[in-house]
Structure 1
Amino acid sequence: MFTAIVVDDDYPVLQYLSQAVKWNQLHIELLGTYSNGLEALEAIRMCERLPDIVITDIGMPKMNGLELIAEYSSINPDFAAIIISCHDEFHYAQQALKLNVQDYILKESLEVEQLEQILKKITLRLCSKQDQLAEFQHYKQLGKMNQTAVRNKFLKDTLYQNSWSKHAWIEKAGINGINLQSKQYVTMILSVDRLNEMTRVHRLNDHTIIFAVENVLQEILSDKGNFVIFNYNSRDLVVLYLTDDPSVEQSYVYHIMQTCITNIKQYIKIHVSGFIGRTVSKPKEIQDALLPMLQELEHRFYSAESSVSTWSKQEFSKIDMYQEYAKYYSMISEHIAAKNQSGLVMTIRDWSNWVRSSHFHPDYVKEWVLQLLLDLHMKIKVTLHFQSEFSDEKLYLTISQIVTLSHLSEWFLDYLSRMAAKLSEITISSRSEVIKAQQYVIQHVSERITLEEMASYLNLNSSYFSRLFKRELNINFIEYVNRVKLQKAKELLLQSNKTVEEISDLLGYSNKSYFIKLFKRDVGTTPREFVSWDRSQRMMETV
């Protein structure tokens, strides 16, 4: 379905067009009607979806229709514009043509059927344009994907078939368009760091992420010679460097890998790490070198991210990690209770250094972190009668997918900080009625909660409850509800793919415009601007 807006300072015209035109039958969603160009432009910038069609008058206060079209062209160059104007403004027609306005209709002769016919032609044209673009992208990617699929199958055959002779292996590669003629091969892996985080930040699935990394890598290595790239899965690429004298080439390979990592980060803002394995000469040796590198992720745990490492199997400590459990549990609990963020930072930094120097097995470290968080959840539930919103199953899944200690330490600190922030919302007051109200709001954040309903839930008079809540927290109840909802909105905007409209509905706001207005008042930006700002900040951190 396409989208449209109507802009005119003549209110009867706005009302007439919004009601008389059969928008749904034309497969067009009317996003809104506006009284001048400036109002429309501001609404467009706040809107989750950009209009495909702009129907506008010319002569309007603050910003006329031609100025609106010119401004909007810089935001969305592919929209269609229709001007509906008076006879005495027809001298603007020449200027309108320069702005690629599709049609110019005089108000004096305006018929709904005429406008609907124009809209039908525009939607057909837009459909055709979309189909052509989709077809072009499909064929453009199909060639690359077919080539990638052939390489992927050949790699899997190399890794999981044991009957290859070197001659047969090289011959089979040649049939598939892969030149592997060489005395020896330096085995390497390029792996996407923090894959789940990358998919969230870039709002792409993991297969698209690795495909983008592979494309950039192909570009970088295309003029370097002797590098062959394979896609192993949605996180790892295998790279073979063909050489006749590996002793001479080691420093060169290391330098090239580091250059690739730097350029990938610079071009597409994705962090990757490189691992250089053994130099081998036969298919079976390639298999023996690569499979542990790809499957035994515990040996990557202590490696630095966004860098090149020589891969080797690690020896892990046998010391009982739980000897220090009580100490760290006590320190972390105290910092959370005291809302001491700097104390949390120092404690997790100390913990990370201790883990790194002790060299515990990664599974042991993850189990330790999970146990500490589960114990903290239980303490919160027992002492504050507050059920944490964090699922044990989700915790386990998230922690188990973390590959490096650096990532685990950052995630651990972020999780504890968010936990402390959640608790601060319910531990300010000493009055049980207020604490129960805060707990209820946090646990029913998706519902529409009124002061009267809350007072009834607590068996209190609504006026008394309102005064009590304001006295205890120095904020009225409805403001508190909105604050909790907007905090949840920020989390959903950054951690899900939901639209602003979906989040507004999910949080119990029946009016999206009211939700956006509240968000801007509280945060200082619209939801869309907030997401863009956060994404730009994350992009800057990757540089």
Structure 2
Amino acid sequence: MLTAILVDDDYPVLRYLSQTVTWSALDIELIGCYSNGLEAWEATQLSPPDIVITDIGMPKMNGIELLQKLRGINSNLRAVILSCHNEFHFAQQAVKLQVNDYILKETLDVGHLQQVLHKISADLNTVKKTSAEMLLYKRKESLNRVALREKFMKDTLYQSSANKETWVEQARIQGITLNAKYYIPMVVTVNRMTNVTLTRKMNDYTIVFAVENILQEILTSQHRCEIFQHSNNELIVLFCCEEPDKEQQLLNYSAKQSISAIHKYLKISVSCFVGREACNQDEIRKILLPMLKEPTQRFYLSESTVHLFEKVAFSDLDMYSEYSRYYSAINDMLALNQPKELQAVLDRWVDWVKSNRFHPGDVKEWTLQLLLELQLKTKITLQYQTDLSEEKLYDVINSIETIDHLQQWMSQYFEQIFRKMSLVAVHSKRPEIIKAQQYVIQHVTEKITLEDMAGYLNLNSSYFSRLFKRETDYNFIEYVNMMKLQKAKELLQQSNKTVEDISDYLGYANKSYFIKLFKREIGMRPSEYSAWN
């Protein structure tokens, strides 16, 4: 639907036209009525209308000035002037601004104005349709050009080798200039593409296209090179050069410039991997294929950096020789609710992995087993289940391409566990308190008294009560009720149990007491909480 505004310092005219013109029948939306040109300009300059119906003589900014400003930001603007003036110089200015009609107010007829607007509407819709078709054509043309370039690169990598002259000529036919003595290949990878698509709410094609545009702007201004899209997160750059040793330093500098610019303007991290020089298609293939087909070779390389690509050998040492030590340390830090200490353990583990250069596949398998065992442990001892199923956990870890990304992801994973367990975590190193906490969580549906808990721990009840209060800032019965109410909230959200059922299930002999306790701690009755959630 087209948009229109009315501008006139004569309020009766504004009211009359806004109410009598059949805007919807003309497929026009009246988006504003203004008493002078300045008011209209300030309201619409960021989103100009398609049609302006305006008086000429108005305070602050007249109609001619308004149309001049609006046409500067919308070249397809259509205008109708309503005026008390019939002097030639006003009509002459209107003609220069390509005004569609100049109507004197004394002869104003709504039927005539509607005919003018109908003609304008048909004209603008034709223009918009033509513009849309042209935009679609250009997009298809661009896609075809990209597809042809992708095909040429795939033929270079996977088809039988042609002699250099034939290969260069095939490139020229596609508009690709590769006439050079040497070629230096570079692979540009968008780091953490899955995260980028989610946070930026863009598909991978659009992201790679945006990265390519910045590479084109920076690299082609300093080098003879051709850029090809290869996959949903990779581009290939072929630098054409005569003396590769001399150009290598400038090439690295340009690559660093590109990484910085992409991060600055797109907020995206990319890494560049530069291969050795090649003379022909066969050598290019031998250099590029390992760079593209063996992402494990990049596992220990820093992100957002330029690297000379070299094949590395991985250690054949047994990672599992240290499994129990790291598992115990991480499990203890989780149980004791010590996130800083756990992060220190994780950092030591990463340093150990890096120093030994274990195969990335082994590192991911080791990590998956660790997290699955910890998930089971927290589910049993703390009645806490993470949001990631075994299958989803496998997919997430398998998609991670660098050790730095894995370290960061694991830190965030454990932070989430600590955050969700904050209500049941105890800031204490006393084994009696930890044991008491775990017992309460495991037996939350039973009636638990201070005396029973002290007896379970072989402690004097008065001593245990003071110890628990000192270590947790809660008295023991408060803590038991807090855990029971937490469980009650989960049941109200996730089950069809009635309030009475939940009260009985959690060991409360008196439903009224349960409701009173729930309202005091949560701020509403259980039935209200259930309806609210």
Matched AA of 1:458:
I
CA deviation digits over 1:5-55, x for unaligned, max 9? xxxxxxxxxxxx9xxx999x9999xxxxxxxxxxxxxxxxxxxxxxxx675
Match of 1:430 among 476, 480, 491: 480
SS in 2 for 1:228: strand
Aligned partners of 1:337 and 1:420 also within 8 Å: no
Q: Structure 2 CA distance, aligned partners of 1:381 and 1:310?
A: 46
Match runs of 1:130-209 below 5 Å: 131=129, 134-209=132-207
Aligned partners of 2:197 and 2:203 also within 8 Å: yes
Sort the Cα spacing of 1:284 and 1:388 in 2 relative to 1 into closer, same or farther, 3 A: same
Q: Structure 2 CA distance, aligned partners of 1:55 and 1:304?
A: 53
Structure having greater relative contact order (Cα 8 Å, sep ≥ 6): 1
Sort the Cα spacing of 1:55 and 1:146 in 2 relative to 1 into closer, same or farther, 3 A: closer
Which structure has the larger Rg? Answer: 2
Match of 1:305 among 290, 303, 306: 303
Q: Structure 2 CA distance, aligned partners of 1:175 and 1:409?
A: 47
The question of 1:458 aligning with 2:502 is answered: yes
Tell me how many residue pairs correspond in the alignment: 419
Aligned partners of 1:186 and 1:240 also within 8 Å: yes
Aligned partners of 2:2 and 2:50 also within 8 Å: no
CA deviation digits over 1:360-382, x for unaligned, max 9? 11111111221122112211222
CA deviation digits over 1:280-311, x for unaligned, max 9? 11211111111110010000011111110011
Aligned partners of 2:492 and 2:526 also within 8 Å: no
Aligned partners of 2:3 and 2:50 also within 8 Å: no
Q: Structure 2 CA distance, aligned partners of 1:196 and 1:369?
A: 20
Equivalent residue for 1:253?
251
Q: Structure 2 CA distance, aligned partners of 1:439 and 1:252?
A: 61
Matched AA of 2:213:
N
Equivalent residue for 2:267?
269
Aligned partners of 1:54 and 1:81 also within 8 Å: no
Equivalent residue for 2:325?
327
Q: Structure 2 CA distance, aligned partners of 1:441 and 1:125?
A: 60
Once the 2 structures are TM-superposed, how far is the Cα of residue 172 of structure 1 from its aligned partner? 1.4
SS in 2 for 1:458: helix
Equivalent residue for 2:365?
367
Matched AA of 1:288:
K
Aligned partners of 1:386 and 1:439 also within 8 Å: no
Unmatched segments (≥5 aa) in structure 2:
5-17, 71-77, 82-113, 427-478, 505-509
Equivalent residue for 2:435?
none
Equivalent residue for 1:349?
347
Once the 2 structures are TM-superposed, how far is the Cα of residue 414 of structure 1 from its aligned partner? 0.7
Unmatched segments (≥5 aa) in structure 1:
5-16, 29-52, 60-65, 84-90, 105-115, 486-507, 509-543
Q: Structure 2 CA distance, aligned partners of 1:129 and 1:468?
A: 69
Once the 2 structures are TM-superposed, how far is the Cα of residue 230 of structure 1 from its aligned partner? 1.2
Equivalent residue for 1:500?
none
TM-score normalised by structure 2 residue count: 0.66
Once the 2 structures are TM-superposed, how far is the Cα of residue 124 of structure 1 from its aligned partner? 8.1
Q: Structure 2 CA distance, aligned partners of 1:345 and 1:202?
A: 28
Q: Structure 1 CA distance, aligned partners of 2:382 and 2:273?
A: 47
CA deviation digits over 1:417-475, x for unaligned, max 9? 1122222356685346324224336757xxxx9xxx76245146775334323556789
State the Cα RMSD in Å: 4.5
SS in 2 for 1:360: coil
Matched AA of 2:502:
L
Once the 2 structures are TM-superposed, how far is the Cα of residue 189 of structure 1 from its aligned partner? 0.6
CA deviation digits over 1:90-141, x for unaligned, max 9? x99998995989999xxxxxxxxxxx99999999899778656644543343
Q: Structure 2 CA distance, aligned partners of 1:442 and 1:380?
A: 21
Once the 2 structures are TM-superposed, how far is the Cα of residue 268 of structure 1 from its aligned partner? 2.2
Q: Structure 1 CA distance, aligned partners of 2:193 and 2:404?
A: 14
Q: Structure 2 CA distance, aligned partners of 1:125 and 1:477?
A: 63
Sort the Cα spacing of 1:122 and 1:381 in 2 relative to 1 into closer, same or farther, 3 A: farther
Equivalent residue for 2:447?
none
The question of 1:229 aligning with 2:221 is answered: no
Once the 2 structures are TM-superposed, how far is the Cα of residue 71 of structure 1 from its aligned partner? 6.7
Equivalent residue for 1:397?
395
SS in 2 for 1:336: helix
Matched AA of 2:193:
L
Q: Structure 1 CA distance, aligned partners of 2:43 and 2:406?
A: 44
SS in 1 for 2:277: strand
Once the 2 structures are TM-superposed, how far is the Cα of residue 273 of structure 1 from its aligned partner? 0.5
Sort the Cα spacing of 1:417 and 1:79 in 2 relative to 1 into closer, same or farther, 3 A: farther
Matched AA of 2:227:
I
The question of 1:240 aligning with 2:238 is answered: yes
The question of 1:439 aligning with 2:490 is answered: yes
SS in 2 for 1:357: helix
Q: Structure 1 CA distance, aligned partners of 2:494 and 2:207?
A: 35
Aligned partners of 1:389 and 1:443 also within 8 Å: no
Q: Structure 2 CA distance, aligned partners of 1:94 and 1:72?
A: 13
Sort the Cα spacing of 1:3 and 1:57 in 2 relative to 1 into closer, same or farther, 3 A: closer
Q: Structure 1 CA distance, aligned partners of 2:489 and 2:118?
A: 52
Q: Structure 2 CA distance, aligned partners of 1:145 and 1:235?
A: 17
Q: Structure 2 CA distance, aligned partners of 1:27 and 1:464?
A: 64
Q: Structure 2 CA distance, aligned partners of 1:147 and 1:313?
A: 33
Q: Structure 1 CA distance, aligned partners of 2:344 and 2:27?
A: 57
Aligned partners of 1:426 and 1:438 also within 8 Å: no
Once the 2 structures are TM-superposed, how far is the Cα of residue 153 of structure 1 from its aligned partner? 0.3
The question of 1:468 aligning with 2:517 is answered: yes
Match runs of 1:15-164 below 5 Å: 73=44, 76-77=47-48, 98=66, 131=129, 134-164=132-162
Matched AA of 1:469:
F
Aligned partners of 2:190 and 2:270 also within 8 Å: yes
Equivalent residue for 2:103?
none
Sort the Cα spacing of 1:386 and 1:72 in 2 relative to 1 into closer, same or farther, 3 A: farther
Aligned partners of 1:55 and 1:82 also within 8 Å: no
Equivalent residue for 1:280?
278
Q: Structure 2 CA distance, aligned partners of 1:427 and 1:342?
A: 14
Aligned partners of 2:337 and 2:425 also within 8 Å: no
